[in-house]
Amino acid sequence: MKEFPFALHPSNDDERFMHAALKEAWKAFQNDEVPVGAVVVIEGRIVSKGSNQVEMLQDATAHAEMLALTSAAAGLHNWRLQGATLYSTLEPCSMCAGAAILSRVERIVWGAPDVRHGANGSWVDLFALQHEIHQVKISGGIYAEECGQLMRRFFKKRREEGANEAGTENSG
C-alpha cells in the first residue's frame, strides 16, 4: 500500500477530523473504490470511520458516510446520533444527506463539492428545506483541494486503465 499522499498540518478540529476522513478516502482509493472517506465525531472523539465499499460489496448504498453512520449507531447502541458531526471528503449525496438528517446528526463537514450528486447545493440542496424535526448545520470546503485532487487522481487512473485494457483487447 502506497503512503498517504498529503502532508497536512491541521490547525483546528475540523481540519484534524477531515484529515482522518481523507485517510479513509485513501483506503478506498487503494482498494479501487471511489475515494470517499467519512468519520463520525462526538465530543471531540472519532466514534466511527467509513470508506467507500460500493464495488467490494456490490451495494450502491455502501457509501463512506452510510457505513460510518451505521457503525456509529451500532457502537453507541443508539440510532440517534445527537451531538455528532459527520465529516466526509465529498459533499454528501441525497441518500447520505437523508441518512444524516434521519440519524439526527448535528453537523456535517464536507471537503470537495460533488457536482453530479451533491445534496448541499451542487446538484440539489436538501439542507435548505426547513425540516420540522431536525436541522443540520453544514460547513463545506475543508481540505477541498486535497479531497478533489484524490477524486481526480482516481478517475484519471481509471480512464488510463480503461484505455490500456481497450488497447490490449485490440492488439490480439
* Contact of 67 with 37, CB cutoff 8 Å: no
15 is catalytic: no
* Dihedral sign computed on CA atoms, order 8, 24, 103, 91: positive
Per the listing, cell 473504490 goes with: 33
| DSSP reduced 3-state for 32 | coil
DSSP per position, 132-162:
SS---EEEE-TTHHHHHHHHHHHHHHHHHHH
Partner residues linked to 88 by β-bridges: 38, 110
Tell me the C-alpha to C-alpha distance, in Å, between residue 63 and each of 8, 49, 52, 57, 88. 24, 11, 5, 10, 10
CA–CA gap between residue 28 and residue 81 (Å, rounded) = 24
Determine which one of 24, 33, 65, 91 is catalytic.
65
Q: Catalytic positions, please?
A: 65
